[in-house]
Structure 1
């Protein structure tokens, strides 16, 4: 929106105050107008954020319009915005708070936090109150007020009541009545004023104050930015929270507004002193953590002593200079407390790792990308050399050269559950594929690393899928998607020998065509080129290796026989159609029950393949129109089970499939009344508007409107006054193609129907007529 389209407020606008927030400035300005909502005021400048308005949701491009509306300098708007960005050293998302990059969760954008005593001194909203880690006003040391002490509602930015009032508490005439200045909050007492002023100064909107506090920094942090140091303060303070005193790993920082409730000012005080207080200041913070050593019984060494603080050196979202500072501080602290006689783990470092052959599990994990749990299982097998100290919880060292080949094999390993999911076969069939040397097994010790009974090379498993695609011929476009291999295999006597079928496809004895190349079920990607040859070859294979069907079937086999997804088999069992039992970690189903269910009942996947409907609710709706209801449903319209005989009986009477219909192009954009009535009749018989609309070449929304008009008035709405006059208009134009549309219209409304010239002109164009170079009306080619 340009400046010329924006009218500034007629009222005198207030001048911005140093340190004032953006919404606070807008609120004070709108208080002088008749506008009672903040969003309505911003909308006058074309600013309409999707969520709550804030310095984050308002962009710099909108600053010009806002500056014109509120009659202030553009720079006063821009410097109060909080554009998104990222740390220089990490991809963590940040906001710019008056030149200091802060994590996005540190800024409060929904609720209003105020200091009654500060408002009494000067009634404007300070920007620093919006920082969640700071629960007090830096000037008055007063705890910030978040909820109204009268109504109990949280303070927000919805209404324009002024910075000193609650926006919910109003009189009958709509005037604010609760003055927050009448409810002062407790004053916080600090034992270390210098440390708390240092922390606040790091993010103060005043650039002079931000620069002044840097004089307190140690030399090691001279090159660190205020953003890096404030993030370190919050990280250290997070480790000092009482509720996580017993943690033994790095706990991160508060993420949501509620997480900052326990983030008290004394934590910032201690964290600030650890930054600027040298050895003594750092030791004061670690002493607080060591006071809770008895709560950390499941670890030892540094993590037992200082808990989550030991993990901060590995936090890559901290700036490298900060991590180096923390490493140095912890190393000095360990030296100063050596008389404690504790067994200590080697301290992490941001320096390059040792290049020796013996590495600990963490270093092996980083070097080869192998899971640490897998490495621990590998050590437990005793099949690789490992070194450790005499104590039980000491670090484990492993030889890099010995692990390298195992790591390469581990990365190519796939447990049997994943392998059978890729190939869509049972575990027994997977073993048969291995016996046929189509997939390759992996033995110990890598097998123990995956904690699986049988492990296969992922490359050999994926190679089968790739080979089937490569051998598949392009499918005839006219071939139905329902001709896929899964349906072709239903002509075979169970159990279907899938390992033999895979081998025959890979050997070229069974030729297949590629119907599609998406989804996880490869058996529905391809179709036999000749179904009869396919059935003959597989039956010969079944005769060579007759399989004795067991009384129980796996979930995959049951799904194959019922033509449903594996995840749906248990629903059939839960409905009482199948008898099941547990075998180790897997569930098996009684074969006779599965065969009986497949013979008596039919499920949606097969119904959709055999019917002209492509959507589940369409086939269900049509079946209900002919009096067929599901035998069972998981819930309303979810996983219905139908009687197969009833479905087979009505299958021939279903409407034709879309591909079997020759859709005629419509010469008119308008749809005739007869076509509309026919569409409504089809809807009344149980077809869906979407099903009918596809066969008419119109939108489903249009068909829905026709039905609604029919239900209300008893008939469809006519296509227009000119409906039924098409042939007359064509013959008249062909008899005199040079006639003007205006002259024809005047004659038509005298002899036929009274219509407007616009309707007539558009109707002639809809019939396909246009003027040629000679000025005659001719049909478009």
Structure 2
């Protein structure tokens, strides 16, 4: 019984010896639990704060006596992790971290569980937990037993936690040796004259520079960050040189900037090691290095790509905005379009070649945009993808379909040296009256080989649909004078469906009314047709032009129907009472009388 009586300075009746790698706070909790002391922090009251982080000389003298532990044993157990210096900075004591699997094997708290960057237990390879699975409260040190929750008294030995993958363990065991075993550092990790704690901190810093803390959202990601730092140190200098040659769209790898920042807050050997680790940092920084690197890799600026594609930079930016190149990582508000690879150039070029402006195609084919709309409504042409329609203003065509139509018509067109006996298509189409010309019906007849003689082109001329010729026999067939297909007529506005034009250009008005520019100016001045705006460049209102075409017939249309020169129409009608109106046109209701008069009435001399 006398052995159980405490000495005057000893505070416990049952002194215990520290376990290997046991933390001081865990040791005090274990001693308090065995001696039924409810407040383990009373052991250090007035000496150090709870939980004890740093042991100064007075604490090293008083605590061994209070706990009944040999001074040498106590000093050997806790000096490395709890004395002022490098080791204590690696620790975190705000929360209690445990490994349930290790507690089931030996119910005491290990010091290395509190190492800030070591998020796993090297004994069980289990991820450490700092939160009670029963009540979700964070574990603190205000407890009498390290394997119990201070809030709900749940047994933490039965808590579940994930384990480090098998393929990581061999490498991570080298890192764990730096904090669980006495010096020196493992020979497999050599980075100059560093102590084991210094080398561990170097690995931690390297991992954080590769993967900043804002990207580490889970303990497993923290383990992967530590592994990345180890591999970088083991692969130095090759591993760091590869970062210096990184091809990402940035002036330099962010690793070097973060590393320099960490080096500013370190001293001595560790500072020198951090500076050596960052020594492969590229000498040329900023945009100049970025430009040199990108040009060496064959990248192009937006100016260079626009010049290669022969488009404006604003047009190229618009293509990027609509998603032609997919999602692009922006660097600031104005740098989403900085650098482009040859693959990007090919992708944009392919997109551009996949569509063609209806205006440009109509001009090349010697047609009007209204004629193109007629071909679209009939299905001979089609529009491109939704993205192309958004990216480009104005009516667009699918380039592949347009090229296919051109090739089919070119194969059918016959080069003719002597065009006597042939009639220009545009002149022939005037015979069908004022309105939208039936180009779709005419080309469909040619493609189906219904058109006698097909289409003819002047010898040596490339295909221009509007400049084609047809034979007299074909004209008679289309007019209903031969064959059984019936008379071709102008296209009603409703037949255009969603392609119906709302406005017409000056040239399109001339085609619809079969007239000269002076005739258009005259009827515009008289108010028979209207512009859509007040300026002279505004287009014409299509409805007013359509209405006028239904009511009036022009000199050119009469000339085509009567098959006489247009200048002869007025002379032959002089004195017949069939005079033109003040508009310069004749009433369409009297067209049959006009044609009859032209057929019988001789020319009256001037």
Same fold by TM-score greater than 0.5: no
Larger radius of gyration: 2
* Normalised TM-score (structure 2): 0.41
